[in-house]
Amino acid sequence: MLTTVVSHPLAAVRLSTIRDAGTAPSQFRAALRELTRMLVYEAARDLTVRPVHLHTPVAETSGAQVANSPLLVPVLRAGLGMVDAALELLPQAQMGFVGLARDESTLQPSAYLESLPESLAGREVYLLDPMLATGGSLLRAVELVQSRGAGPITCVCVLAAPEGVRAIEQSGIELHLVTAAIDERLDQRGFIVPGLGDAGDRQFGAV
Ligand code: PRP
């Protein structure tokens, strides 16, 4: 497991807005979108590009185009707020969708939506979920894409708890985690501390 913590002043500013309990949902969504752009930018650092020949207004030169866009898979609900920014950077990307809800008492995730291409044989996948808490949801999402043959998996998360990072390490699953911060711990309710609360509720309201 490779972990990249994106440390950048502009990312820290957006993360502070997202953490602040006084941030309104519209501002939260805007900051999440901007921060996601930075995280996906970093996640795509090793993306394969192929050379293209092109003409500038002045001369001929060579450039680059994305060889194979990864499949973007937001984990609903909260991952929906990361879709626009990821698509802006990877406009040719196809999308899949996974819906997972974590039981508030057992903290176990249950899948209520799985909309993915039948075969993902060897395809690179970016899972988008703002929160990695116990790691149960992300591991379930990884299982769903791996069962269809997915290739390299990158998990783009705004925040991670050390417990969730350990759970992924202990699972032995190879993936790249890209996050803006690894926080202190989980509390008794399974919330990340200091965290940002419930990323789904803060974007869309409590259900
Ligand atoms: C949150 C979050 C992750 C999950 C993290 O979703 O967006 O998907 O919990 O917790 P875990 O690492 O302990 O599994 P939630 O289940 O609250 O659903 P929501 O996105 O619909 O709010």
Please tell me the predicted confidence (pLDDT) of residue 36: 98
Which atom of ligand 1 is least distant from the CA of 186?
13
- Phi/psi-derived region of residue 174, left when phi > 0, alpha when psi is between -120 and 50, beta in every other case: beta
Question: How many CB atoms are closer than 10 A to CB 129?
Answer: 24
User: In the predicted model, is pLDDT for residue 172 greater than 90?
Assistant: yes
Q: Which amino acid is at 21?
A: A
Q: How far is CA 95 from CA 26, 32, 91, 98, in A?
A: 24, 19, 11, 10
Please tell me the predicted confidence (pLDDT) of residue 35: 98
Q: Is 102 in the pocket of ligand 1 (CB under 6 A)?
A: yes
Q: Is 99 in the pocket of ligand 1 (CB under 6 A)?
A: no
Question: Do residues 127 and 145 touch, judged by C-beta distance below 8 A?
Answer: yes
Q: Is 107 in the pocket of ligand 1 (CB under 6 A)?
A: yes
185-203 pLDDT, tens digit each: 999 999 999 999 999 999 9
157-171 pLDDT, tens digit each: 999 999 999 999 999
Residue 14 CA to ligand 1 centre (angstroms): 20
Spatial distance between the Cα atoms of 95 and 89, rounded to a whole number of angstroms: 13
Q: Is 132 in the pocket of ligand 1 (CB under 6 A)?
A: yes
The half-sphere exposure of 176 on its side-chain side, counting CA atoms within 13 A, is 18
Please tell me the predicted confidence (pLDDT) of residue 207: 79
Residue 79 CA to ligand 1 centre (angstroms): 9
Q: Which amino acid is at 18?
A: I
User: In the predicted model, is pLDDT for residue 180 greater than 90?
Assistant: yes
Q: Is 135 in the pocket of ligand 1 (CB under 6 A)?
A: yes
pLDDT tier, 104 (very low <50, low <70, confident <90, very high otherwise): confident
Q: Which amino acid is at 195?
A: G
What are the beta bridge partners of residue 178? Answer: 4, 156
User: In the predicted model, is pLDDT for residue 150 greater than 90?
Assistant: yes
First-to-last C-alpha distance (Å) of the chain: 34
Residue 171 CA to ligand 1 centre (angstroms): 19
Question: Do residues 36 and 18 touch, judged by C-beta distance below 8 A?
Answer: no
7-37 pLDDT, tens digit each: 999 999 999 999 999 999 999 999 999 999 9
Q: Is 101 in the pocket of ligand 1 (CB under 6 A)?
A: yes
Radius of gyration of the chain (CA): 17
Residue 86 CA to ligand 1 centre (angstroms): 19
Q: Token pair 């309710």 is at which residue? A: 189
Q: Which helix (H) or strand (E) holds 61?
A: strand 60-66
User: In the predicted model, is pLDDT for residue 139 greater than 90?
Assistant: yes
